[in-house]
Each structure stands twice: as C-alpha cells, then as structure tokens.
C-alpha cells in the first residue's frame, strides 16, 4: 500500500465516489472508505469503518494518509416526524466530523478538506448580491446549521492540533448519478412534458460534479488553501428556464415552457405542500467564487453545456 494517500469518506456517495474515481484516473493513491462493503474496481483501495461517523474507529484507515476529503454527512433525518432533527444532524455532521478530524490529526494527517454546503450562507440571495466568504452565515434549516457547527468545530481542532483544514461550500451539484429535483427535471424534459417556468427569471449558481471534484483534489495539496473557506461554483449562473433549455439541448429534445406568474406558482405550490421546491425554483441563489479562483488559480474544467451533457447521460 502506498506510504501516502488521500482518504475519502462517504466514498459510496454521489460526490465521494466521483472523487475516488477521478483521483485514481490521475494516478493518485486513493483510499475509499465506507460503512458497508462496496464493490470497486481492482485499481481502487477500499476499506470499511464499522459504526457511524460519531462512533467509528478511524485510526486503522488513517495510517499513511496525507489528506482526508470528508464527504460523508447526514443529508436528511431518518424519521420525518423527528421532534429534534437538529440533534440528529449534529450527531453525524458535527460530532462525527470532529471525531474524524481529531483522529486524523493524531495519525499525522496533514490536510483535512471538509465538504460543507452553501446552505451555511443561507437559502437565497438578492439580485446582484451573490454570497461571498465574508458574509455572516445565515443557515435556515437544521442541515445548514449542522454544517456551520461542523465547520467551526473542525477549525477548533485545527487550532489545537495544527491540522490543515480547508472548507469548501458548494451550491447545487449536478453530474452523473445526480438525484433529487435535477433528476426529476431531466426526466420531465426527456418525456416532453410542458413546464410552467418561462416567466421565472431567477438566477442560480451551480457546480458540475467534475468541477467540484477537481477543486477538492486541488485543495488537498495547494499551499494557499490551508485554513481557508471557499465558495465554489461553475461561474455561469442560470435561471430555471435557462437550465431547462440547457438540459433539453443535452438530451436533444425540444423544451416546452409556458408562463405562470411567480406569485401564482408559489401559491399553487403552497396549496400542494411543495413550498420548498417552489422556493428553489423561484428564488435566486448566486455564489461569488472569485476568491478560490484568485487564491488557488483554479478555473472549472467543465463548462455548463458539457456538465449538463455528462449529467443527463449518467441519468439515462
């Protein structure tokens, strides 16, 4: 086994698997760590850690690791009716991240890259006022609160141990294997269903999976990344209507859009109990990623059109 390697947590997930596969493609020594045995190509070194993030023993798999890319996180509560979802999120996203960071520092790991979320900044932005790293955090839901707490807690470990921590906050990530609203949207467009989005003129920042992976791997080694928090995005913001047309071009299908005023759209969504989806479709969420470009000299390798093509091919 190589003397130095990059350990990836949550390696069976959407982002983690892509990080491992790209690292191997580049000839890097990668270790894919999951909670359950996962099928990998012979070129991938893999290990399992029994238990959850908050009670697993990471020491054996951290031996020889030069960096950790921490993708594992709780994205949703197990029980929708949970009386205290924030406690559930914090158990994994905060307690678990701190446990891993402390064990990484004890094992002599140099760099710890924490995959956080733009939800730490908030849920929406005003026109022409994209989020920056200098903005005061304003998380609006338990998941966002837990990711902010995780950032603070891991940085305290860094201050105490000398572990080099880098925090990356991505917005919506799209790519092969993407699920959720993006996958549903692609399915609707592929089937030719008309969509009521042509009157929605919001602006959303996105990041292609390949672009995020490229940045995370860069953050494991770039000297100027140490101790920094970066917002990440493709660099081209789109409205929901523009996103639909981009997906349509990627699947070679005409996009049938018709106008519904925003207020009407939101009212109907409220009656249907879909306020969260309506907000994500109607509101703007823009990210200023100029800091990471200037500090690390990073530029996204994939443009929007190529990123969408890869995403819909993966969905197919």
Number of other residues whose CB lies within 10 A of the CB of residue 163: 22
Identify the helix (H) or strand (E) that includes residue 65.
strand 65-70
174 is catalytic: no
- Contact predicate 54/91, CB 8 Å: yes
Tell me how far apart the alpha carbons of residues 105 and 109 are, in angstroms, rounded to a whole number. 5
Number of other residues whose CB lies within 10 A of the CB of residue 62: 21
- Cα–Cα distances in angstroms (integers) from residue 211 to residues 116, 275, 303, in the given order: 15, 30, 9
Alpha helices (H) along 107-219: 142-161, 180-190, 209-219
Considering 143, 182, 265, 298, which one is annotated as catalytic? 143
The number of residues making up the chain comes to 316
- Cα–Cα distances in angstroms (integers) from residue 180 to residues 183, 184, 187, 280, in the given order: 6, 7, 11, 12
Active-site positions read: 143
């Amino acid at each position: 086994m190589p003397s130095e390697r990059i350990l990836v947590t949550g390696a069976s997930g959407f982002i983690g698997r892509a990080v491992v596969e790209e690292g191997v493609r580049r000839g890097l020594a990668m270790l894919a760590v999951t909670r359950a045995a996962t099928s990998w190509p012979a070129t991938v070194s893999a290990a399992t850690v029994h238990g959850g993030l908050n009670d697993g023993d990471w020491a054996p798999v951290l031996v020889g690791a030069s960096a950790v890319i921490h993708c594992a996180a709780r994205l949703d509560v197990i029980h929708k009716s949970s009386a205290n979802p924030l406690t559930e999120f914090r158990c994994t996203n905060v307690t678990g991240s701190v446990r891993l960071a402390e064990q990484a520092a004890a094992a002599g790991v140099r760099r710890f890259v924490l995959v956080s979320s733009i939800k730490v900044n908030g849920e929406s932005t005003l026109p022409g006022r994209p989020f920056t790293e200098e903005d005061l955090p304003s998380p609006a839901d338990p998941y966002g609160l837990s990711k902010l707490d995780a950032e603070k807690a891991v940085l305290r470990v860094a201050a105490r141990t000398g572990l080099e921590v880098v925090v990356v906050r991505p917005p919506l990530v799209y790519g092969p294997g993407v699920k959720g609203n993006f996958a549903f949207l692609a399915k609707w467009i592929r089937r030719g269903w008309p969509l009521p989005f042509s009157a929605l003129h919001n602006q959303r920042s996105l990041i292609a999976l390949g672009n995020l992976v490229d940045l995370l791997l860069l953050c494991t080694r770039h000297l100027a990344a140490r101790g920094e928090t970066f917002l990440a995005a493709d660099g081209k913001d789109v409205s929901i209507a523009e996103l639909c047309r981009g997906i349509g071009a990627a699947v070679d299908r005409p996009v049938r859009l018709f106008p519904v005023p925003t207020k009407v759209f939101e009212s109907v969504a409220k009656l249907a109990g879909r306020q969260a989806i309506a907000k994500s479709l109607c509101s703007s969420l823009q990210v200023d990623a100029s800091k990471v470009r200037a500090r690390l000299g990073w530029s996204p390798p994939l443009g929007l059109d190529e990123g969408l093509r890869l995403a819909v091919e993966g969905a197919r």
